[in-house]
């Protein structure tokens, strides 16, 4: 372990103790696409000991401008399987489990239970809200990512210590639209999600707790916007934070 992670273990914030902490950690990543590819890659490369890859989709040609865990030879294959294979090639010393199913309100608690941290790397806002609700129900910190064209955002949720996704972006009934995404935007947001995850797993200060990270690729700007938990939030309010099962 020492040689593989030698360069990051030179950092005072990590060293041997931090590397051992990462080796004991577990992360579930929902989505092995544009956001999941960079997030999963850097979590695996850093030595996170157990990673769950949850995705019920298959690889398509239109994915390949941004989903670099997959190649042309993987078209038609389950994304979770393709991702696991690529990540195992990168780092065979960690445990990677594939879940070739789409996450739903019915299976979310079962799929996410037992992990230390959850990353939402999906392009459906409805599924992001399901992940948010399940992570609150299970008491697991959740890192949410979203992209649209040249822009993206990252949010950390772990009520009651922080706002949840619903506090900041309440779900509004609308038809799901296919949006344009530049590969570099997904890469930057996915890497940012992985960075926040590693800070959390290492026990370091979380720079986006109660802040929304915003990225604008057209103007090459980033912002941290203060956010506040809604005490009356129907998802993370007092009656739900310590609840059992999705409400």
- The pLDDT of 171-191, averaged and rounded, is 82
- Give the least confident one: 84-98, 161-175, 180-194, 202-216: 161-175
pLDDT surpassing 90 at residue 183: yes
Q: Mean per-residue pLDDT for 207-226? A: 97
Residue-level pLDDT at 170: 82
| The pLDDT of residue 178 | 74
Nearest-angstrom CA–CA distance, 16 and 67:
32
Question: Can you tell me the mean pLDDT for 78-101?
Answer: 98
pLDDT band for position 172 (cuts 50, 70, 90) = low
* DSSP, residue by residue, the chain: -TTTTHHHHTSTTTHHHHHHHHHH-EEEEE--STTHHHHHHHHHHHT-SEEEEE---B--GGGTTT-TT--GGGTTSBHHHHHHHHHHHH-TTSEEEEE-S---TTTHHHHHTT-SEEEE--S-HHHHHHHHHHHHHHT--EEEEEEEBTEEEEEEE-TTSS--HHHHS-----------B-HHHHHHHHHHHHHHHHHHHTT---TTTTEEEEEETTTTEEEEEE----TT-TTTSHHHHT-SS--
Q: 6-15: per-residue pLDDT in tens?
A: 999 999 999 9
Whole-number pLDDT of residue 238:
78
Q: Residue range 91-105: average pLDDT?
A: 97
Mind listing the domains of the chain with CATH numbers?
Answer: 6-241 (3.40.50.720)
Q: Considering the chain, what percentage of its residues have pLDDT values greater than 70?
A: 94
Q: Please check whether residue 43 is in contact with residue 194, taking contact to mean a CB–CB distance below 8 angstroms.
A: yes
Q: What is the pLDDT of residue 2?
A: 76
- pTM (predicted TM-score): 0.93
Confidence class for position 79, pLDDT limits 50, 70, 90: very high
Distance CA 90, CA 69 (A): 10
Residue 244: band (very low, low, confident or very high) from pLDDT cuts 50, 70, 90: very low
What average pLDDT does the structure give for the chain?
93
Please, how many CA atoms are within 13 Å of residue 73, restricted to the half-sphere of its CB? 5
Q: Report the C-alpha gap between 167 and 129 in whole angstroms.
A: 11
**pLDDT-derived band at 246, boundaries 50, 70, 90:** very low
């Amino acid at each position: 372990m020492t040689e593989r992670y030698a360069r990051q273990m030179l950092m005072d914030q990590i060293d041997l103790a931090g590397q051992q902490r990462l080796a004991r950690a577990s992360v579930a990543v929902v989505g092995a696409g544009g956001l999941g590819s960079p997030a999963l890659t850097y979590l695996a490369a850093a030595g996170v000991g157990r990673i769950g890859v949850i995705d019920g989709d298959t690889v398509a040609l239109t994915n390949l401008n941004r989903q670099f865990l997959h190649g042309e030879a993987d078209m038609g294959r389950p994304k979770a399987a393709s991702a696991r294979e690529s990540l195992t090639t990168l780092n065979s010393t960690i445990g990677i489990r594939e879940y070739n199913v789409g996450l739903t309100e019915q299976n979310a608690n079962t799929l996410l239970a037992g992990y230390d941290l959850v990353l939402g790397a999906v392009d459906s806002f409805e599924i992001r809200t399901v992940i948010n609700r399940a992570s609150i129900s299970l008491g697991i910190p959740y890192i949410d990512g979203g992209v649209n064209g040249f822009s993206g955002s990252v949010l950390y949720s772990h009520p009651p210590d922080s706002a949840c996704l619903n506090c900041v972006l309440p779900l509004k009934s609308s038809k799901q639209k296919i949006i344009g995404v530049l590969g570099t935007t997904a890469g930057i947001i996915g890497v940012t999600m992985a960075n926040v995850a590693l800070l959390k797993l290492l026990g370091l200060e979380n720079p986006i707790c109660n802040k929304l990270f915003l990225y604008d690729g057209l103007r090459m700007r980033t912002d941290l916007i203060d956010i506040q938990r809604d005490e009356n939030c129907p998802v993370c309010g007092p009656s739900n934070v310590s609840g059992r099962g999705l409400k």
